[in-house]
Amino acid sequence: MSTGVLDPARVGQGSGDDTGPLAVRTDGLTKRFRSGQVAVDDLALRVPRGAVYGFLGPNGSGKTTTIRMLLGLVRPTGGQAWLLDQPMPDAGAAVLPRVGALVEGPAFHPYLSGRANLDRLAAVDATADPRTAARRRDEALERVGLGAAAEKRFRQYSLGMKQRLGLAAALLQPRELLVLDEPTNGLDPQGTREVRHLVRELADAGTTVLVSSHLLAEIEQVCTHVGIMSRGHLVLQGARSVLAERGQARVSVTTTTGHVGAAARVLRGLGLEEPVVDGLRLDAPVDGLAPEDVSAALVRADVPVVGFEVRRPSLEQVFVELTGEGFDVAR
Ligand SMILES: Nc1ncnc2c1ncn2[C@@H]1O[C@H](COP(=O)(O)OP(=O)(O)OP(=O)(O)O)[C@@H](O)[C@H]1O
């Protein structure tokens, strides 16, 4: 069915760099709220089929608004979104049954048990016979670790248990795409590990997963791709390795008295940024050079090297640098 340039699943962002089919694509997706606030600005998401896409960003950076637009829960004020090649929200009725979603929990009934709540949701979907639906419901409850608490009333569930029930609801049917907004919210470390495990399992079975989080460390290990939001903008997107590549390594050289000037000349001669000098130690970004080329150049210039260290920023440091956020929320 690909006719070339207009196939939204295949066209890259003008550069032709997206080759495979996409599960989620947006072009220029924008949401300006009535208050005038632009929560999402000109977003070009590219979620390849089969990916686990970590949608990362601090609180208030626009992840939930984006996800709500993807699912047709909020109308964009600009741009376009496609889910599984179908335009949203126009094709919602056809495509949403193929998409499982966890967005601020579906409306659960407080006086019904977890199991009875899932029955209500399955009845709305009504795509499976009752026996299959009951089996899927119990499997979903087991998968999220609620098997033992299935008969407990929803109002007695802890926040983590509520979140797990939301996940179970997203798993009631086999899905091609799962969109999970902060699925680890309210979960303890063990619950967070279980969610990661579940995401990995679903991905192994071929489901594309888009999972948002404000904590890189929570989902970084399971992602094949990342998209990083900051103040409504997508500041970085691509295979997970782009994050590591973005962090610039620095080299730190310690020499002996009388050789600091010569060491600095060698580093400058290699085209490195002006080194920061602290006593006998010089520090500079390695800028694409192999660290061994730096040490070899120092040796060739007869600079005595008593310390040589290459430091790469952690992914967390890169993330914080990209989003420019500390602990505070964006707005
Ligand atoms: N209905 C609304 N009306 C006005 N502003 C809104 C509305 N919903 C969200 N916003 C604002 O849009 C911005 C983005 O919010 P959003 O919930 O999309 O961020 P987020 O990245 O999902 O954050 P969090 O992790 O805290 O949920 C925030 O500044 C928020 O206050």
Probe residue for ligand 1, chosen from 29, 30, 31, 33 as the CB with the greatest number of ligand atoms within 8 Å: 33
Beta strands in 77-216 (DSSP E): 78-83, 86-88, 99-102, 177-180, 208-213
Q: Where are the domains of the chain?
A: 22-239, 248-312
201 pLDDT band, cuts 50/70/90, is confident
Between 16 and 119, the more confident residue is 119
Probe residue for ligand 1, chosen from 30, 31, 63, 65 as the CB with the greatest number of ligand atoms within 8 Å: 65
Helix (H, G, I), strand (E, B) or coil at 25: strand
Give the architecture-level CATH label for domain 22-239: 3-Layer(aba) Sandwich (3.40)
Q: Look at residue 19 in the predicted model and tell me its pLDDT.
A: 66
Ligand 1 atom closest to the CA of 64, numbered from 1: 22
Rounded-to-integer distance, Cα 146 and Cα 151, Å: 9
Q: Look at residue 4 in the predicted model and tell me its pLDDT.
A: 31
Query: Are the C-beta atoms of 8 and 82 separated by less than 8 Å?
Result: yes
Identify which of 177, 141, 129, 163 has the alpha carbon closest to the alpha carbon of residue 24.
177
Query: Are the C-beta atoms of 81 and 69 separated by less than 8 Å?
Result: yes
CA atoms within 13 A on the CB side of 298: 24
236 pLDDT band, cuts 50/70/90, is very high
- Angle subtended at Cα 329 by Cα 323 and Cα 331, rounded to the nearest 5 degrees: 95
Rounded-to-integer distance, Cα 111 and Cα 127, Å: 26
For residue range 85-103, list pLDDT tens digits in order: 999 989 988 888 899 888 8
For residue range 47-77, list pLDDT tens digits in order: 999 999 999 999 899 999 999 999 988 999 9
pTM for the full model? 0.79
Q: Look at residue 320 in the predicted model and tell me its pLDDT.
A: 84
CATH of 248-312, one of 3.40.50.720, 1.10.1740.10, 3.40.1190.10, 3.30.70.100: 3.30.70.100
Q: How far is the CA of 175 from the centre of ligand 1 (A)?
A: 27
Rounded-to-integer distance, Cα 48 and Cα 289, Å: 32
Ligand 1 contact via 72 beta carbon (within 6 Å): no
Q: Look at residue 325 in the predicted model and tell me its pLDDT.
A: 61
Q: Look at residue 127 in the predicted model and tell me its pLDDT.
A: 67
Q: Look at residue 221 in the predicted model and tell me its pLDDT.
A: 85
Backbone angles phi, psi at 171, to 5 degrees: -105, 10
Ligand 1 atom closest to the CA of 35, numbered from 1: 4
Question: Which of 166-180, 232-246, 251-265, 286-300 is modeled with the greatest confidence?
Answer: 251-265
Q: How far is the CA of 64 from the centre of ligand 1 (A)?
A: 7
ipTM of the complex: 0.93
Probe residue for ligand 1, chosen from 38, 40, 64 as the CB with the greatest number of ligand atoms within 8 Å: 64
